[in-house]
A = this chain, B = another copy of it.
Amino acid sequence: MDLKTAKEELKRYQEKCAALGHAMSILYYDGVTTAPRGTAENRARTLAVLSEEEYRLSTSKETGELLSFLDENKTELDEKEKREVELLVKEMNDRKKIPMDEYIAYETLIVEAEDVWHTAKEKSDFALFEPYLTKIFETNIRFAGYLAPGKKPYDYWLNEYEDGLNTEICDNFFGALKKRIVPLIEKVRSLPQVDSGVLFGDFPAEKQRELSKYLMDTIGLDPLHVGLSETEHPFTTPLGSHLDERITTHYYTDYYASSMFSVIHEGGHALYDTGSDDDLAFTVLDGGVSMGIHESQSRFYENILGRSEAFLTFLYPKLTALFPSVGNYTPRDLFRAANRVEPSLIRTEADEVTYPLHVMIRYELEKRVMAGELAVHDLPVEWNRLYKEYLGVEVPDDKHGVLQDSHWSGGSIGYFPSYALGSAYGAQFLRKMKAEGTDPDACLRTGDFAPINEWNRTHIWRFGSLYKPGELLDRVLGEPFDPNCYLDYLEAKVKNVYGL
């Protein structure tokens, strides 16, 4: 094999992977947005065939020879190709460690699990979902055993979602958060509560759809390449490459803030993915590098920008035009309501301050199940106990408790910490952005996202997965990661909202 041919083959191989990925993602996407409810098994059969194809392709003799050759000649590769080979070799080696039939069975399992979770959530019936969730945890433990025999299974998966992460780092991180967030919540409890009436009323889905389009446009998503669908549990996915990105939302006709902030959150994911340099498309470097960095962007847009007084004041006239009852309140009321701190049941609806505690509960539960210290069967009871302990709320049923999130049904164990980490990264990005002369508030007052997007594009988006998360953070921040920056940000927000 000569180097030129090998480089072409590398490109061709990644295009094939992207195509298979496209087919598998769109089946998932269809399943949770459009598909009739009785079709999961039909989709699972197709996914089984496609995962087999994916497994065979990535573990084939030809692929092995190609990647070995390139790896041996890596001094001849440019920076991008080197990173591509590194990631593809890891993927190949990982897959080879998992028996093909187990790999396919797991892919099939999560399609079915997603479907059962839907019904279980609707009926608030954990028992229906329990056998699937048990299998999902078991498989994650077993796979971690194949992939990293010496490691604690949960550490293995944490590191998969965020390169470099483990339980020790998480314990420290959450410990630091807890130390300042719990007293902060206590303090808020002692103060008169903010009126959130501006967010509630009667808001037809059609009007909310209009708002979604307006928000997507305002934050700078390209309508030619980013679509919006409706689903039970909002998510974002690229299809094939960052040239086709889909975000999703869910409308509640009595509460527009849910979809409004969810669209901005998913929009942040989509901005990150679609901000990849175009020459990364159809390679393994396309799109965001890790879940932590991804959430840093989505939660940056949702909270730091979306819930800022500057942006909400800018948005106020549009909101009153769509939802006349908003006009009974002032922009300042809107800002305070959107940032009302109040322990609650649902993570995705939680305010910025109590949010990390929702994540911490999931982290602790996952850690214990993965360590064999907690049975899946006991998750609901433990869930409810921790919500009482950390947030002081009573969970009325599993729909508003352990069944609320779709992550576990999709096989994602170890994902949740990314949300809190990402929020903390985001606060530090904000400080850096300001230090470098981009003032988000000044931009948001006129709804001008361009300078903010430009900063993020230049520093983060355009690289896709070229740098490891830790490397990227170093490049962007030029200083160590510091959760106190996030805590300072939260305290300042509370101070503004509650007038401390």
Contacts and interface: CB of A to CB of B under 8 A. Distances in A.
Interface of A: 15-16, 18-20, 22-23, 26-27, 30, 33-39, 41-43, 45-46, 48-50, 53, 206, 222-227, 229, 239-241, 243-244, 246, 281-282
Number of copies of this protein chain within its complex: 2
Contacts of A49: 15-16, 19-20
Contact of A15 (B35, B41, B45, B282): B45
A406 B229 CA distance: 24
Contacts of A30: 26, 30, 239
Given A15-B45, A42-B243, A224 B37 contact: yes
Contact of A27 (B26, B50, B223, B243): B26
A199 to B, nearest CB: 24
B206 A244 contact: no
A30 to B, nearest CB: 6
Contact of A229 (B16, B34, B281, B282): B34
Contact of A240 (B33, B45, B229): B45
A240 B34 contact: no
Given A26-B26, A26-B30, A34-B229, A39 B282 contact: no
Contact of A38 (B39, B46, B243, B246): B243
Contacts of A23: 23, 26-27, 46, 50
Contact of A244 (B36, B53, B281): B36
A18 B46 contact: yes
Nearest to A40: B244
A394 B33 CA distance: 43
Contact of A35 (B38, B48, B206, B227): B227
A50 B53 CA distance: 11
29 contacts: A19-B46, A19-B48, A22-B27, A22-B42, A22-B43, A22-B46, A26-B26, A26-B27, A30-B239, A34-B246, A35-B227, A35-B244, A36-B224, A36-B226, A36-B227, A36-B244, A37-B223, A37-B224, A38-B224, A38-B225, A39-B224, A39-B227, A39-B244, A42-B239, A42-B240, A42-B243, A42-B244, A45-B241, A206-B206
Q: Closest 6 interchain pairs by CB?
A: A38-B224, A19-B49, A23-B23, A39-B244, A19-B46, A36-B227
A65 to B, nearest CB: 20
B36 A223 contact: yes
B15 A243 contact: no
Given A19-B45, A36-B225, 20 more contacts: A16-B49, A19-B46, A22-B42, A22-B43, A22-B46, A23-B26, A30-B30, A30-B239, A34-B229, A36-B223, A36-B224, A38-B222, A38-B224, A38-B243, A39-B225, A39-B239, A42-B239, A42-B241, A43-B244, A46-B240
Contacts of A48: 19
Contacts of A36: 223-227, 244
